[in-house]
Chain A
Amino acid sequence: MERTISFTLNGKPASVKADDERMLLWVLRSDLGLTGTKFGCGEALCGACTVIVNKQAVRSCVTPVKDIAGKQVTTIEGLGPNGLHAIQQAFLKHHAFQCGFCTPGMIMNAYALLLQTPKPTDEQIIAHMDDNLCRCGAHVRIVEAIREAAGAAQGGA
């Protein structure tokens, strides 16, 4: 059913007129022009489309837009409105990417981890990130970056 759905997007009020069964990924990318969130598989199997809805990481390719009505949505574009977030800075410093296509999803999923678990162990990082796929093999650096971001976040950044 097409209707107007209102929510908070990257800290600002937003609304879209759309069939409410459409997936959030496509509404973000096509209707709202936020292309930082990527399509990788369409079946919640790779994590490239990960965004934050009410502090939880969700796979936007399988999240109907009706489910976000009234909620807080954060995408890679809204993570560091005044510059890079500590996680982005850590990814940059460690070169925790190669092609960069999985990177927004990796960063958003790591962000959700640190919201829930500000000081994760390596085992917790790996378990939380395990369903986000990276074909280039930047995994070692991604773990290092998250570890460092966790330390930096606690340091009062």
Chain B
Amino acid sequence: MQAVETQGVSRRGFLALAGPGLFVFFGVERTGAYQEPARLPSRQGGPSDFNAYLRIGADGRVTCFAGKVELGQGCKTVLAQILAEELDVAYDSVDVVLSDTDVCPFDMGTFGSMNVPVLGPALRAAGAEARAVLLQMASERLQIPVDRLQVKAGVVSDPAAPGKSVAYGQLVEGKRIERHLERVPVKPVKTYAVVGRPAARKDALEKVSGKAKYAADFAFPGLLHARMVKLPAYGAKMTDVDTSAAEKFGARVVKDGDMVAVLHERPDLADHALGLVKAQFDRPPASVDDKSIFDHLLETAPQFQPAGRPAGDVAAGEKLAAAIVEETYLNSYVAHAPMETHSATAIVENGKVTVWASTQAPFTVKTQVAQAVGFSPQNVRVVAPYVGGGFGGKTAGPQAVDAARLAKITGKPVQVVWSREEEFFFDTFRPAAVFRIRAGLSSAGKIVSWDGRVVGAGDREARPFYDIPNQRTVSAGGWQGGNPAGMHPFGVGAWRAPSVNTNTFARESHMDALAAKAGVDPLEFRLNHLSDARMRRVLETAAKQFGWKAGKAPSGRGIGVACGTYSTAYSAAMAEVAVDKSTGRVQVKRLVSVLDVGLTVNPDGMRQQMEGCIIMGMGYALTEEVHFKDGEVLDRNFDSYALPRFSWLPKIETVLIDNPETPATGGGEPPIVTIGAVLANAIYDAAGSRVLQLPMIPERVLSALKKG
């Protein structure tokens, strides 16, 4: 216990909340409170002190602590599987506590498909070491050497001595133990019994019963609902505001810095009060709109930077070409549009603020809140409860900061929930982009040169993975920030597989254009330029599942192929579409998706991600784009911003490559990257016209048909 006391406030808070039980202490680098990001060694690093991740209660139940957020991707489930596997306890006996900055180890955020590949190994190591310590304790208790003991479902026994057994719960009862073992090996993958098999989701019962709590579902006596006076356009400044009618209605008004908020104990009456506020604004001139944006991006882009390693000499390669194919691919801004708008509930008690926030990054929000309200970090607790979708759009927490500020000012609990209009206005969109590709094709049907220039999207996966002897890809500006002021006229950010949907759409569309020019089947053309065995395997698996029959496009069959990488995952897709040539409307009839992420912890969960990626991908491919003019976002709800619906459903088939010996990569993003291109290629095959701009709305399809 002494060692614990020296850890400081955060550790004591952790113990107080966690209650009695065994903490498996490993004694590694006790660098201090593990909630402090500044002390962590690396960007991806969690705590080196493994007991941060798990607790074994006296009742034998295991609690897993992680800073990740359950956004729907199923991380509660896979973390429980990983820990159950290494500890040799029943999956059902593992509870998971996520994303509470007071009790969970630091985590930089839930994005980038890093849950399994980055947190997974740390959790495996913690579980393996805990199991080894418990075996030692059992050995001492039972007076049987460790090497004769086995563990099943948290019970340690000697197979040769029936009746001699002790459960983890019995071992820890009434005790606290500090013991440390170094270099305990994790289980070999081939012995896995829990990992690699479908698991029942840990969040299922709460979600189907309506009991799952989201940030707007927390209520306290005296809770006030806050609504902010909205800006009509980007860059607008409020010059005058009259809140007297709102006050007369019974709302409380708070003016603090540039924030003007009305608060009421009923959320809808807060909305009403907001409608009574009269405000005047200065609006800067805004000339760019959703049509002129592409020229604007080219005019405002910074210098090109290399995107990936160049090869050979592009100019020399072009001299070998019998044909040059050059196209420019565009995509519009795309919104995250999670079903849950940004929400937060904040309460200040005894000099400490607690904020329940819909965020993918509770530790980042903790820092933001601490700065905004002037509390020291240990007096700020941020909890991300269940979050109603993120997709990269909830990586910060402005609504949490507002709720905390208002709770401090009013002395009351405060809830902030963005309207759908605010969700569209304040979103950090997937950037609009322009990707020009110029490639040379030899008379033998080989790509001899590739010159790619992407503006606006970012450089991830922009360089082709195909065998191209002379190639150069460059990138200017992107989703990560650091763009010249005004290049992107509003906020942009990570959107499920950032950069890569754009870059895959361009590359895979261009591969098809080259295949058509060469008169070669588009699958065969890709395989002719691929030596990467994992990419070949996902393509060949897709072809088998789809029943791909080789033919030169456009064949009129409406079939298409695309493949892509994201991080170290490989995905391939094949699609069949029908194009109504009179309306330009596209119906996706069938979509086969193949994914190789290495080891898959929960195959059913991975299939859920693949299905979700296909459907969300159909949205950005076919309808989703943000319309804007004069600094205003014109899409304010789901009437004009069209999300995929039930009636869109194609026949969906998902295939996971069995590759358990390859370290796991996250799968929540890779399967989406191919969807724009696979549909563009299938449309080309159906209609003989290539649509060069996402989304492929009917008018763009018709326009492409007219061009031929």
A: which residues have CB within 8 A of B? 22-23, 25-26, 29-31, 33, 35-43, 45-46, 48, 75-77, 79-80, 84, 88-89, 91-92, 95, 97-104, 107, 125-127, 129-143
Contact = CB atoms under 8 A, between A and B. Distances in A.
Interface string B601-614: 00011001001111
A117 to B, nearest CB: 15
A92 B204 contact: yes
A21 to B, nearest CB: 10
Contacts of A39: 216, 341, 417
B388 A137 contact: no
Contacts of A95: 201, 204, 604-605, 608
Interface in B48-84: 71-74
Contact of A135 (B205, B268, B389, B604): B389
Interface string B506-536: 0000000000000000000000000000000
A18 to B, nearest CB: 8
B204 to A, nearest CB: 5
A136 B219 CA distance: 27
B389 A137 contact: no
Nearest to A41: B420
Contact of A45 (B219, B605, B639): B639
A23 B204 CA distance: 29
Contact of B207 (A29, A31, A97, A133): A97
Contacts of A79: 210
Contacts of A22: 266, 268-269
A134 B204 contact: no
Contacts, number: 164
Nearest to B213: A35
A135 B643 CA distance: 7
Contacts of A136: 72, 389, 612, 616
Interface string B626-648: 00000000000111000111110
B208 A99 contact: no
A46 B644 CA distance: 11
Nearest to B269: A22
A86 to B, nearest CB: 11
A133 B638 contact: yes
B639 to A, nearest CB: 6
Interface string B112-156: 000000000000000000000000000000000000000000000
A131 B644 CA distance: 10
Nearest to B649: A139
B651 to A, nearest CB: 9
Contacts of B614: 137
A24 to B, nearest CB: 10
Given A35-B217, A95-B204, A100-B203, A140 B611 contact: yes
Contacts of A134: 339
A30 B219 CA distance: 8
B611 A99 contact: no
B655 interface: no
Contact of A138 (B71, B219, B608): B608
